[in-house]
Chains A and B, each alone.
Chain A
Amino acid sequence: SAVISQKPSRDICQRGTSLTIQCQVDSQVTMMFWYRQQPGQSLTLIATANQGSEATYESGFVIDKFPISRPNLTFSTLTVSNMSPEDSSIYLCSVRRSRETQYFGPGTRLLVL
């Protein structure tokens, strides 16, 4: 298994500002993912952040808006830049050690006013 923590757990931000979300894993993992869950919706993959390579973004998500860092095998950050109310969502960090089970952090609940 994997124990994942995220900071902050929730935040209320003003439009036009940026927020950096931290993801810490209790042990080394190769595969790390960032997801967004808009209110009442399913999870949408933002990007894959494997250590040692640039993050790979899904269609509809760009690096300028969602820059990601992955400095080591236990830590990653996702920044939500120049926020608008449409960015109000839960942002989830997720990891997988093998090709099998995937684990999720508790999420960061973001409200943009």
Chain B
Amino acid sequence: GIQVEQSPPDLILQEGANSTLRCNFSDSVNNLQWFHQNPWGQLINLFYIPSGTKQNGRLSATTVATERYSLLYISSSQTTDSGVYFCAVEQGSNSGYALNFGKGTSLLVTP
């Protein structure tokens, strides 16, 4: 199946700083999504972005499908941004369109 690698594995930021999280994948994808898992364990969908660029408030994402990577940008970070950020890609019809998750980037934003 498709391999998904995320970097960095851990990140500590001071409030107000910016950061870039990276997701590399080993094959072409039909679907790529970014999720935030908050400290209480709830997974929130941030972006559906198999290609191109999207922005939502302080967050934006870019996927360059031809080069098999995606970036998640967090600007002016806040303590509520803490948690784990996952990149997930769709394996294709053989797996019924299920998402395959990377290991995540654990982000801690300090006051």
Same complex for A and B? Answer yes
Using Cβ atoms and an 8 Å threshold, which residues of chain A touch B45?
101-104
Q: Enumerate chain B interface residues (CB-CB to A < 8 A).
A: 30-31, 33, 35, 41-43, 45, 48, 86, 88, 90, 95-104
Q: How far is the CB of A12 from chain B (nearest CB, A)?
A: 17
A33 to B33, CA, bound (A): 16
- Establish whether residues B86 and A43, one from each chain, have CB atoms under 8 Å apart when the complex forms: yes
* Chain A minimum-CB-distance residue to B100: A45
A residues contacting the other copy or chain, number (CB 8 A) = 24
A99 to B93, CA, bound (A): 11
Whether A80 sits at the interface, judged by CB under 8 Å, is no
Using Cβ atoms and an 8 Å threshold, which residues of chain B touch A43?
43, 86, 88, 101
Known: A42-B86, A103-B45. A33 touches B98 (CB 8 A): yes
- Establish whether residues A56 and B96, one from each chain, have CB atoms under 8 Å apart when the complex forms: yes
- Establish whether residues B41 and A99, one from each chain, have CB atoms under 8 Å apart when the complex forms: no
- Establish whether residues B97 and A92, one from each chain, have CB atoms under 8 Å apart when the complex forms: no
* Chain B minimum-CB-distance residue to A55: B96
